[in-house]
Each structure stands twice: as C-alpha cells, then as structure tokens.
Structure 1
Amino acid sequence: MLFISALIGVYFAFFAKTKQNTTKEYLMGGKTMGIFPVSMSLIASYISGITILGVPAEMYVYGTQLWIQILPEIFSTLTMSYFFLPVFYELQITSTYEYLKLRFNSRVRLFGSIIFVVKILLYIPIVIYVPALAFSQVTGFNLHLITPITCIICIFYTTLGGMKAVVWTDTIQVLVMYGASLVVMVLGTIKVGGFGTVIERNQQSDRLEFFNFDLDPTVRHTFWTVCIGSFVSWLSYCSVNQAMVQRCLSMPTLKMANKTALILAFGIIAIVSMSCYTGLVIYALFYDCDPITTKQIKKPDQLLPYFVMNIAEWIPGLPGLFLSGVFSAALSTMSTGMNSVAGVIFEDMIKPNLSKNVTEKTASTIMKIIVVIFGTICVGLVFVVEKMGTLTQAAKSMSSITAGPLLGIFILGMFFPWANSTGAFIGGVFGLCLTAWISIGTQAAMAMGSIRNIPKPVSIDGCIENLYMQFNTTSPIIEQLNPPFFLYRVSYLYYVVIGMLFTISTGLFISFLTGFNDIHKMEKSLFSPIIRSCILTKKSDDGSLAMKKVTINSTKHESTTTDNDKVEKIKS
C-alpha cells in the first residue's frame, strides 16, 4: 500500500500530462478532477486512525449513543451545499481564509489562517502516532522506525504529485480502509456466533442506547448533545474547512461539487457505522473477560488491534490488511492536511508579501518546500506525542476550541451583512478564549477526579482462573468530591456550539458599538444565496436594488492574482 502510494506521486510528478508546476494544478488539480476520486478523498480526509481505533473503543466503554452522530451529517451536507459552497465557488478563491479578507480585512484573515495551521500541526502527529502504535503492538516493530518511514513516503508523494496525487492516493487508501473494516467486522461477527449474539450480549449490558432524550447539557452523550453538537461540528469541518472546500473547488462545476459532498455524507455514515458496529462485536467477544480490567491491554484504544490478533489465529494476513486500513486512514489525513496547509501558508501569509512578478513555477516550488518543512516538523512532533500521554485528549479539545470560533466568523461574514471587521475579529478572539477556558478547566477537573465519566459494566467472570483470582477484587470506594463549575461539566460536544454562538453574538454586539456596515455598499457575491434573496435584494428608498449581483469570471481567474486585484474585480 505504501509502495503504490509512492508510485502515484511519481506518476503525477513526471509522467502525467500536467506536471503540477502551477498553483492551480498543485492546489486545485487544474479544476479537472472527477466526482469519484474527489469524493473518496473527502471521505479519507475525515477518517483517520483515531476514528478507526477510537470509535469502536467508545462503543465498548460507553455504549452506542454517539452512533446517532450520523443523523446530522446529511443536514450539514445540505447546509454546506446550498448556503456556503456557492459563495466560495463563485469567488473562485484558493484559500477559504482568503474570503475573510474580501469580506472583512487582512487581520481577520490572518487570525483564521494561523488557527488552522496550528490545529493541523497538533492533529497530524497524533494521526500518525496512533496507527504506528497499533502496528508496533501487533508486530513488535520499533515505533521509532515505523513513524519516519510512513511520514517520509507521505511527504514524498504529496510534495511531488500535489492535489492529484493526494486525491488518487486517498482513493486507493479509502478503499483499503473500507475493505479492512468490512473484513474485520464480518469475521468478528462469525467468531462471536452471529449478529443475534452480538446484539443480545450488548443489550444485556445496557450498551444499546440511542434515544436518551435527557435535556441536561452536562450529560456526556444524549440524543440532543450528539445531534446538536455533531451538526455544528460537521458544519465547521465540511463548510469552512480548507481541506474540504479546496477539494470541492477542484471540481469543474458547482453541481458536481454538490454531488461530491452528498457522496461524502453517505461515505462517512457508512464507515462510522461500520466502526460503531465493530465496537459492539468486540464487546460481544470479550463480554465475560474484559481485557482492560485483566491488564491484557493498557487502554481502550488498544482494543481493536487486540481484537484483530485474537480473531486472526486462523486467517493469515488479516493483521496486515487491518493495519493497511489503519495506515491508509493516517496517510490520507496527513497528505490532505499538508496540501491544505501549503495552500493556506502560501496564499495567506507569503503571497501578500511577494512581488507581482513571481512566476507560477516559483510559487509551486515554494509550496512544495512548505510541505517538506511542515511534514518534517510533524515527524519530530510524533516523538513528543509519545512522551505526552494526554495529548490525544488535549488535541481533540483543541479541535473544538478552534472549530466553533472559525465557523462563527464565517457565519458573521456570509449571513450578517451589517457585521463589520472589528466585530468579527473581537468575536473570534473572545469565542476562542471562552472555549479554551472551558476545555482547559474541564481537563483540570478531570485530572483532579471531580469529573468522572461512568462506563458501561464489564465482567471478568469468564476469564481463566489465574486472571480471575488476580483481578476479581472488590471495587474501591470512590470519594465524592464537590461538583466543579457548571461550564466545566457541560458535554464536550457542546464546545463547538458555545464557541460559535459566543463568536456570533459578540461579533454583532461589537459591530453595533463600532457602527454597522451599510448593506447598500456591500458586495453581493460575498454573502450566502439565502441572504442575497431575502435581504440584499430589497429595494432602497429610490426604488433601485440595494445591490447588484457581482460575478467573477472563473475561467479567467488566475491564482497568482493578488487580493487587492480580486477586490477591484468585485467592485468593478
């Protein structure tokens, strides 16, 4: 799988008709990509080794309530297709944060870009470390040898092949992911004794929980926390995330981009559901001898590799297929992140400071250098991850911290014409600070033991005698501590919602204090279609339309055009 991925990079660098020597080719694939490969790439961008290993562990430890997260995915995809994507597609921008300068100013744009780069920089090392750890556990290979090899291959094909190499390697990798997940799921079900046995054993342990309608926001997972929190999280990840939007913009038409987004929704629903069901199968196999309690494994994230090795006794090659799927998830996420970061750093941080005479080949070379440097930093950070056991949880919190404020800023820009740049910037900063405060406070409370998540029951009654006698002890009495501050107890799924709402409300309030924008002077193409039809087409006092629709000729748009030139095109 690694060898094929590397060959794809070589092909698009040296043998394809287009050699990825322009920013349009390197970041957008020349806008000639097909629906199937881009759809697969979008799915691969979302699925990581953390998903493949973490979701089954979640089902095993806490039950199936989180499975409901697949329901909001369709609605978030439709919201993206009809309200967000048309704006980016009409403006034909390379970086989503480029929009923030067109709508607000360069300060807001830089704020969004920096948050995105930091988020990816923290996330990718974990994405690589998790499958490398699984590989080390299954094979005994040195973790320090696996990680650099994997990263070097990923950097190699991402640097040489650009967007097209990323998309086509993602396509192969996502097929491997689905194949590995399906084989493990089916063989596990057979090993346990059939689908009926899986459901029966999970039902007896009260793991099958889908419709907990408790309105208490402090309950970790309820129907409402999962649906509302997942909808906003999906919206942030799909609608304004550079990695996702960049691939949609590589499609020739908006209609094709919308079809791609719909396939993405069903693809994610499928892989998440497979991972959730696999978690139920794992419990059904270990229902009377919990491997965590008996110290056969150290933590829940190791459940799936342990499960695979358990059922692989009579199927040679199954561990290799499984690990190929896990590494495929990691490589696809890493390559997508590096390609997107290269576009953001170049377009938002370097390009504004370059002279207008920079050639396309020079720009492409700069982005390739960025990929190499960024990938090298990630390799180094993987070894930091190894020393910091709680970084995975901290990184997930970081994702929520940044997602809410960024989504709030884009909503201010596309849906509130009267919001100004001062309001957007201050709102984003305040939203970031609030969610960071809640997240860090929650982690501190959990470290002190004042917040505990209650797992579903497990048993060791069926273990062999020596394990049973060693670990069948009376449960310790848990000291009751004073409950922490209310916001620290709010479900982590609401962090994105809180950050988004606080950013929007603060942004509108600051805009009111500093003076709302005059919507008669705003450019119509910068707003969502629903705002154009409901607000911006209202007639002014003199009977004329408040705004005229502005269209940028996408066929003539060149990625080397400066931001000021784009603003002038819009105004003209």
Structure 2
Amino acid sequence: MIRPISLGGLKAVVWTDVVQTFSMFGALVLVAVKGTIDLGGSDVVFRSAWETGRLERPNFDINPTTRHTLWSQLIGGFVYWLQTNAVSQNMIQRYLSLPSVKAGRRALWIFVFGVCLLMALCSYCGLLIYATYQNCDPLTTKLAKAKDQLLPLFVMDILGELPGLPGLFVAGVFSAALSSLSTCLNSMSAVILEDFVKPYVKKPLSPLAINWIMRSVVVGVGALCAALVFVVEKMGTVLQLTMSLEAITNGPLLGTFTLGILIPWVESRSALTGGIVGVLFMSWLSLKAQYAVATGAITYPHKQMSVEECSYEFDRSALNATVTSSVAAEDIFPLFRVCYMWYTFLGAAVTILVSLACTLVYGRNDPKTVAPDLLAGFVRRYVYGGEGEEASGSGCNSNGKEVKARLNNSAGSCNHDEILKESQL
C-alpha cells in the first residue's frame, strides 16, 4: 500500500479506495446474508436482540459521563462528523480535486449514504453475531480473547467450509483499514510539504524534489503506523481508541476553523494559543482516559451472557474470575469518565474559549482585514454589509490590501488549477 501511494499520488489513492470499498461492502454483505440464512431469518436476529435488551430505547440522560446517550450520539456525533467532512485535510483535498462545487456536493452526499449503509451493515452483523452466540459466549469461554476477534470467528464458523470465502472476508477487512490509511498517508505528505517544507526553503522546489519529499514522508509515516500496531492492540477496543486519539487534533482543528469562519475578531496569535492549549488539554484527557480503560481502572457494565449451550469444553474456573486494578475506581479523575463521543466537541470548545480569552491579552483583530469569502454568510453581511456580498467568492488570499482592492473593484480570482495540481501530487 505504501509503494502505490508514494508513486501514484492522489489518483492512486482514489482508485484504490474504489476497489477497497467494493471489497469491504462485498465482504459485509456476504457475511450478513449467509449468517441470516443459517440462523433462520432476520426476524430471529431482531427478536433475540430485543428480548435480551440488546436493542434499547434512547437514553435521555444528560450526564456526559454516561456512555452512549441520545445527546452524545446526536451532538457529539454531529461535531465529530462535521470535523471529518468540513475541516479534515483528507476530505478537503478531495473536494479541491473535483471540477466544481456541485461535483463536491454530489460526492459528499454519496459519501454520507455510503457511511450510513456501512454503519447499518456493521450494526446488523453485530446483532447477528450475538444471536448466533447468545447461549455460548466465545469471550466468556476464551475461544475469542478480544471483542475484535468475534467477527473473524463468526466468519470461520459460517464460511469455513466454503473455499475462498473466508479469504474474501479477510480482503474486505484489510480493505477497510488500508482505505483509511492510504487517505491519511497521502494527505499527511501534502500537509508536510506545504506547511513544513516550502515555507522554509529559499528557492522553489523542483518537481523531482517535491516527489521525493512526498514519497519519503509516505514511507516514513507508513512505517511508523505499522510499528504502532503493536501498541494499539493493547489499548482497548479500536473504535473508542480511534475516536479518542483523533480528538487530540480534530477538536482544536475544528475550533480554529470555527474561529476563522464565525469570529473574525480573534487574531492569529489568540487562535494559535487556543489551538496549542486545546491540543495539550485533549492529549492529557484522551491519553489518561484511554490508559485508565486499558488498565481496567475504568470499566463499563456488560450485559449478561450465557454459556449453557456450549458444545465444547472450556475452563469454567474463568467464570468466577475477577479482574482487579491497581487504581481504585473512586480515585479516577471525573473528567476521564466523560464519554469519548464528546471529545471532539470538548477540544473545539476549549480552543474557542481560550482563544476568546486571549483577545484580552493580544487585542482584537479588525474583521474587515479578513477576506469576505472566508467568512460565513451572516458574518460577512454583518461585517461588510452589501460590499461583502459583492466581493465574496472573488479571491483566495486574506491580506488587508487584497481585501480592500476587491471591495473597491470586485475583482480577483482563485487559481483553482494550481490548487488541483498540488492536490494531485
């Protein structure tokens, strides 16, 4: 995967994503259909889940430490996906590679539909696994040593006798991982080139030098990601770990963009200070909370499982075993118990609040020195009035002279061809 990305750039990433998406959906659909047929129909799956409390009504608890409430899913989930679709370098790079805003919107709607379908398939497969093992829990019997092993075990049980199909599932699983990894590697190489290399070189880089720099970054970051696999496997469930660690940068990044779009009175030093504080705060919160989960200091209640109908022998002494932690539950700092779904929201909120507080030290920025097309519509109308509407969409840079020229002449244009060329390197 690292070699194609380093050689092919964004085009290679897009085409590999297409192939991997079909592999991923194909594997999930195959498992869902075959498992449902073996179990006797989808009504068996949903009836089993409902009767044993696996399907629940929404939890309206406003306590942020309660795991997976309606509010954490709606508000926290909305902020998380807002950052992913509106601010993330991975998505912005793809928007810029499209020929028009209309094409970008169409691609975004397709992405939203695909994500919703993927989540529905994953949720159904989870219910299917429970219905299959509800009277012989593999985790209790230690047939599976971690929750992430349940799906592979289920696949081998239902597809093991069909040559090639377990391999298809493995390809789908790897496709899901490699699709995200390829996107991040390509975006990371572009960010490092534009923000950490070009500003500090005296002469313009040649195309050959740019290619070598981006390829080196892809190889280096890819090797680091591969090495971190040995750390991640000891840090708890992948979903919570991913969302928790992503929030370290995603929250402050969303907060910084929100400041730029909605609060132009905050100047750059205040925004930078807020971003740094946001990253430090979220690093402390995410890493400490995840460490507490990994060591067993923070645990979450599990629904009761049964082993009454197991057809194989296992060590029953494990049924009465208890897991102890060196840290007492009451010694855990309350903030570490906040549901991970709130982390991106917290990171953005801390960044915005600290940045606003820093305006008392650094002073306020003149909002009219900000390009109108960088502001939200209602903010632009408030700051510029009618002139802002005429000037919006007419330029790229945000220095005061260009803004003034655009307000006077309504002239200027973005070099989209140059942006597209750089995004495809």
Structure 1, unaligned runs of 5 or more? 1-153, 562-572
Aligned with residue 337 of structure 2, among 473, 486, 489: 489
**Maintained 8 Å contact 1:523/1:550:** no
Deviation at 1:525, TM superposition (A): 2.6
Deviation at 1:184, TM superposition (A): 0.5
Structure 2 residue identity aligned to 1:453: Y
Structure 2 residue identity aligned to 1:488: F
Aligned with residue 189 of structure 1, among 16, 33, 36: 36
CA distance 1:376–1:440, shift in 2 (3 Å): closer
- Residues 371-520 of structure 1 correspond to what in structure 2 (within 5 A)? 371-383=218-230, 385=232, 388-389=234-235, 396-446=243-293, 449-464=296-311, 466-467=313-314, 470=316, 473-474=319-320, 481-482=329-330, 484-520=332-368
**Maintained 8 Å contact 1:525/1:551:** no
CA distance 1:485–1:211, shift in 2 (3 Å): same
**Maintained 8 Å contact 2:235/2:291:** no
Aligned with residue 522 of structure 1, among 370, 386, 393: 370
Deviation beyond 6 Å, 4+ runs, structure 1: 477-480, 558-561
Asked whether 1:160 is paired with 2:21, we answer no
Asked whether 1:319 is paired with 2:180, we answer no
Name 1:297's counterpart in structure 2: 144
What is the identity percentage for the equivalent residue pairs of Structure 1 and Structure 2?
Answer: 39
Aligned with residue 27 of structure 2, among 180, 187, 195: 180
Deviation at 1:537, TM superposition (A): 2.2
Name 1:249's counterpart in structure 2: 96
Structure 2 residue identity aligned to 1:216: N
CA distance 1:372–1:441, shift in 2 (3 Å): closer
Aligned with residue 354 of structure 1, among 186, 201, 220: 201
CA distance 1:529–1:249, shift in 2 (3 Å): farther
- Residues 69-80 of structure 1 correspond to what in structure 2 (within 5 A)? none
**Maintained 8 Å contact 1:293/1:471:** no
User: Which moved further from structure 2: 327-336 or 358-367?
Assistant: 358-367
- Secondary structure of the 2:156 match is helix
CA distance 1:365–1:437, shift in 2 (3 Å): closer
Rounded to whole Å, the distance in 1 between the matches of 2:290 and 2:416 is 50
Aligned with residue 69 of structure 2, among 214, 219, 222: 222
CA distance 1:366–1:420, shift in 2 (3 Å): same
Rounded to whole Å, the distance in 2 between the matches of 1:306 and 1:231 is 33
Name 1:552's counterpart in structure 2: 413
Structure 2 residue identity aligned to 1:265: V
**Maintained 8 Å contact 1:210/1:223:** no
Structure 1 residue identity aligned to 2:274: G
Structure 2 residue identity aligned to 1:156: R
Structure 1 length-normalised TM = 0.65
CA distance 1:305–1:460, shift in 2 (3 Å): same
Rounded to whole Å, the distance in 2 between the matches of 1:359 and 1:221 is 51
CA distance 1:329–1:461, shift in 2 (3 Å): same
Structure 2, unaligned runs of 5 or more? 389-402
Rounded to whole Å, the distance in 2 between the matches of 1:526 and 1:238 is 17
Q: How many residues align?
A: 402
Deviation at 1:379, TM superposition (A): 3.6
Asked whether 1:269 is paired with 2:130, we answer no
Deviation at 1:234, TM superposition (A): 0.6
CA distance 1:556–1:221, shift in 2 (3 Å): closer
